[in-house]
Structures are given as structure tokens and as C-alpha cells.
């Protein structure tokens, strides 16, 4: 950087002069020992050291540091640029090693049951039937979950899985003694079936309680009386009727080798058994006679007193291997999507990041007036629009502090207006105080309050005119 002379106005009479080039040192570091002429950036503004001091003195201390360029007001965000062309896809990188499986998160609440989808009318091809596996041991039944809000809707039935091989049947319990058969009662005529009542409204499904343990099988109670036999229905079109039974044929003649028994004498000593004679030829079977009507069924007898209870069911055999998967059928039309489940609770808000730009929080606006007195205790930005007279700025009220900033924004009413500044309160700080507005344009004037050497004035550090 070429040599030049940097002048800082300290008061109305004395100046501090830095001769030579500035040395840019980047962002201010509280641990660095800076030399006169070092230029640093601090909180968005630029400062130069003009009075030698050790490390740790902040640039806001204008006894040692001078403000060169103050951070400007946040500009209006420009329009979003056009989207650039998509770049070519890069080569696929080498696949990294698979990471460890993370801990399974807590299962969220089950959403409401969606509406029943439309069933597909196109059945998928039936896959080949796999070998039937052995029936596995049945696990304990888990507790019934709470029914969803749309529990009355039944989802589409999934395909039936392959049937496992049936396990060996457990040993049958001992058969109870058969009770004495009662006298058959007469069969009464079955009465006509009454009309089916209308279906009642489906009640809301209650929550199912936990599955209780299976109780012991109770003693089988006596069988109730058999109801009256209903009239015989009309035979179906494919029924084969049994013809009438023909008469029984005559018994054939006794064979020629039959030995006739003589008169019975006194019983002697039993001799040896003689040879059996030849059996005569059986005569032809006569036609079966007509079957007589069935007699009434007798009433059920009382169960025997020594009836044996049914034995414990044997254990279920092990589950056989699963058969090969059949070809998947065509998927049916998707059902209507159910309502979205409730939104989970919001996570904890993270800590607020550090603020990088100071914000103007106190803005005062005023309509056109001739005499202007700004309250320094309540104003960071003072706005005047449509100024229709000379703007005469008086000494601000309040108790400003060293280094306090103030921005004044002025716009006339399309006619240039004169601007005057109180000489006891405002002074040029390297930038002249503006004396007039520019027709129809915004004018911004930046000040910093300086108390060094009992100056106690608002120094003008920057002006900006709307283009």
C-alpha cells in the first residue's frame, strides 16, 4: 500500500496524524499486540490504531483506535438468480463400510385405520403348492391391542399361507361307559323358520382385555334331547333315488352232502368231532324289499356315572419347513390413504447462535417539521419523509454514551430542502455534514458520539445518497 497521511479530528483545534501505509491485520484478536497503523475489522466495521497500546484494548475505545469505515445498514435482499444448468453426474464413489446398526427408536403411535381400498378384480396366478410343513408349537397369545378409531373397517384379507404338516395326534383319552339308551320320542313336525330381524347398528368396538389363561376342560354335560325331525326336502336334480327293495328269494335246497340229524338220544360221551359236510350251493339273492319307515329316535339316555373326562391334548408337532413361495399375484388397487396420525411433540429448541450483525431496534419516524430534536436515549434510526421545510437539527436530548451510533434518514417532498446542524452537538468527522437534500432521494447520515478530550459531539462518519 502506498504511503499517505491519515488525519483524525480530535477536537476543534488539535489533530492526530499517522504518516505511512496502513497494515491490514484481518479480524481483531484480543490477544494480539497491534502497532500504530494496523487496520483491523471488528463487528463489521474497520478501525486503525493511532495511539500505541498493549493487547486487549477493544477497537471501540477511540482513545487508541479510530473508526475508518462503519458497517452499513442491511441492504434489501436482491432477487434470486436463475438456476444454473445441472452439472454432469460425478463418478460413483467407493461404497464405504457398513456402519453399526443404530439403537432402535421408540415406536410411534399407530395411525388411524385407513378406508377400505377397492378390491382388485384380477386374481393373480396361483403359485405352486409347497410341501406342507410340520405344525409349529403355538406360542402364548399376546394381549389384545386397543382398537383404532376406524376399527369398524376391515382391511383386505391377505393371501392364505401354506398349511404345515399336521403333527401327530395325541393319545385319545379312555372312552366313558355308554349310558342306557332311552326310549325314542316321536318326531315332531319342524315349524317354519321365522323372518330374520334387521341388522342392528354396529356398536363401537371396546378395548379387548388381556387373554386369560385357558381353563381346564369341564365335565361333559348330558346331551339334550334331539329335536323333532324336519320334513324330507325335495331331492336335488342330480340325486340318485334308491329303488324299492324286492322280495326275499326262496332259500335254496339243502346240499346233497348234508347229514341229517336223527332223534336225540341220551347224551353219551362226546365222541370225536366228525368231518364237516360240504356246504350246499347258495341260492340266488332275492330282490330287496321296500324299506319300511324309520322308527322314531329314542330320547338320549343319561350319561353313565363312570364317564371318563377327555384326556389332555398331546403336544403339537414341530413346524415343518416352509414350502417354496408361489408366484406373486397381481396387486390390487391401493386403498384410500388413511388419515395422517397425530404429529409428534416438537423437539427441544437448540441454543440460539451468536449474533454476527448488530440490529437497530429503536426506530423513530417523524412527519415534516422545521425544528428537529432527536431523543438520543430512545433512537438508533431517525426517519423523516416528505420534508417540506428546512430541516434544522437541534442538539439531541438525553444522555448519549461514548461510541453510541445514530443514523439519520431524510427524504424531501420532491423539492430540495436545506439542512442545518447544531454546531454545539454535530461536527464533521472526516466527512462533511450535508447541507441539502437531493430532490426525491433518500439521504442517510451516520454519526458516532465521541467524548474523547471532552469533545462530547456527534461526529459525522459517513453519508450515503440513494442512486
User: Which pLDDT score, from 0 to 100, does residue 339 have?
Assistant: 82
User: Which pLDDT score, from 0 to 100, does residue 243 have?
Assistant: 47
The C-alpha angle with vertex 366 and arms to 444 and 380, in degrees rounded to 5, equals 50
User: Which pLDDT score, from 0 to 100, does residue 175 have?
Assistant: 66
Using CB atoms within 10 Å of the CB of residue 62, give its burial: 0 to 12 exposed, 13 to 18 middle, 19+ buried. buried
User: Which pLDDT score, from 0 to 100, does residue 285 have?
Assistant: 67
- What φ, ψ does residue 45 adopt, rounded to 5°? -115, 165
User: Which pLDDT score, from 0 to 100, does residue 295 have?
Assistant: 66
Give 125's strand partners: none
Cα distance between residue 12 and residue 427, in whole Å = 9
What's the average pLDDT block by block, 10 residues per block, for the chain (467 residues)? 48 56 92 94 94 93 92 80 77 76 68 60 62 59 54 50 60 62 58 65 63 61 65 50 53 46 60 67 66 67 48 67 72 74 73 51 91 95 93 96 95 95 93 94 94 93 91
User: Which pLDDT score, from 0 to 100, does residue 450 have?
Assistant: 95
Please tell me the number of Cα atoms within 13 Å of 216 on its side-chain side: 5
Using CB atoms within 10 Å of the CB of residue 396, give its burial: 0 to 12 exposed, 13 to 18 middle, 19+ buried. buried
Cα distance between residue 264 and residue 275, in whole Å = 19
What is 194-249 written as a DSSP string?
A: PPPPPPPPPPPPPPPPPPPPPPPPPPPPPPPPPPPPPPPPPPPTT--PPPPPPPPP
User: Which pLDDT score, from 0 to 100, does residue 343 have?
Assistant: 79
User: Which pLDDT score, from 0 to 100, does residue 153 have?
Assistant: 39
* Predicted TM-score (pTM) of this structure: 0.28
Residue 461 gets the label, from left (phi > 0), alpha (psi -120 to 50) or beta, of alpha
In this structure, the number of other CB atoms found within 10 A of the CB of residue 437 comes to 22
Amino acid at each position: 500500500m502506498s504511503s499517505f497521511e491519515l488525519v483524525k479530528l480530535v477536537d476543534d483545534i488539535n489533530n492526530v496524524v499517522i504518516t505511512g501505509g496502513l497494515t491490514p491485520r484481518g479480524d481483531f484478536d484480543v490477544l494480539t499486540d497491534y502497532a500504530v497503523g494496523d487496520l483491523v475489522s471488528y463487528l463489521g466495521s474497520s478501525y486503525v490504531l493511532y495511539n500505541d497500546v498493549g493487547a486487549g484494548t477493544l477497537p471501540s475505545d477511540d482513545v487508541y483506535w479510530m473508526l475508518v469505515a462503519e458497517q452499513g445498514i442491511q441492504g434489501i435482499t436482491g432477487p434470486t438468480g436463475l438456476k444454473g444448468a445441472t452439472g454432469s453426474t460425478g463418478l460413483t464413489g467407493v461404497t464405504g463400510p457398513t456402519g453399526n446398526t443404530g439403537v432402535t427408536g421408540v415406536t410411534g403411535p399407530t395411525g388411524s385405520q385407513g378406508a377400505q381400498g377397492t378390491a382388485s378384480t384380477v386374481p393373480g396366478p396361483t403359485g405352486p403348492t409347497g410341501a406342507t410343513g410340520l405344525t409349529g408349537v403355538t406360542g402364548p397369545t399376546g394381549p389384545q391391542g386397543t382398537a383404532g378409531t376406524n376399527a369398524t373397517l376391515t382391511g383386505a384379507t391377505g393371501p392364505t399361507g401354506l398349511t404345515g404338516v399336521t403333527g401327530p395326534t395325541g393319545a385319545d383319552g379312555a372312552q366313558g361307559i355308554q349310558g342306557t339308551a332311552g326310549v325314542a320320542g316321536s318326531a315332531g313336525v319342524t315349524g317354519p323358520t321365522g323372518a330374520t330381524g334387521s341388522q342392528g347398528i354396529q356398536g363401537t368396538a371396546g378395548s379387548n382385555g388381556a387373554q386369560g389363561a385357558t381353563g381346564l376342560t369341564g365335565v361333559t354335560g348330558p346331551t339334550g334331547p334331539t329335536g323333532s325331525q324336519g320334513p324330507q326336502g325335495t331331492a336335488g336334480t342330480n340325486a340318485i333315488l334308491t329303488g324299492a327293495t324286492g322280495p326275499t328269494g326262496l332259500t335254496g335246497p339243502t346240499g346233497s352232502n348234508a347229514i341229517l340229524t336223527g332223534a336225540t338220544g341220551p347224551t353219551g360221551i362226546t365222541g370225536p368231532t366228525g368231518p364237516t359236510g360240504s356246504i350246499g350251493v347258495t341260492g340266488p339273492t332275492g330282490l330287496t324289499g321296500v324299506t319300511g319307515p324309520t322308527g322314531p329316535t329314542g330320547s338320549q339316555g343319561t350319561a353313565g356315572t363312570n364317564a371318563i373326562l377327555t384326556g389332555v391334548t398331546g403336544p403339537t408337532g414341530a413346524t415343518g419347513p416352509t414350502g417354496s413361495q408361489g408366484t406373486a399375484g397381481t396387486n390390487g388397487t391401493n386403498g384410500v390413504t388413511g388419515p395422517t396420525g397425530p404429529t409428534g411433540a416438537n423437539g427441544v429448541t437448540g441454543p440460539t447462535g451468536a449474533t454476527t450483525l448488530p440490529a437497530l431496534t429503536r426506530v423513530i419516524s417523524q412527519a415534516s417539521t422545521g425544528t428537529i430534536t432527536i431523543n438520543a436515549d430512545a433512537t438508533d434510526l431517525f426517519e423523516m419523509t416528505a420534508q417540506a421545510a428546512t430541516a434544522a437539527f437541534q442538539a439531541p436530548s438525553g444522555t448519549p454514551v461514548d461510541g453510541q451510533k445514530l443514523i439519520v434518514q431524510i427524504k424531501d417532498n420532491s423539492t430540495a430542502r436545506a439542512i442545518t446542524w447544531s454546531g454545539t452537538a454535530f461536527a464533521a468527522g472526516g466527512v462533511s455534514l450535508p447541507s441539502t437534500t437531493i430532490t426525491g432521494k433518500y439521504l442517510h447520515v451516520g454519526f458516532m458520539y465521541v467524548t474523547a478530550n471532552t469533545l462530547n459531539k456527534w461526529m459525522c462518519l459517513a453519508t450515503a445518497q440513494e442512486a
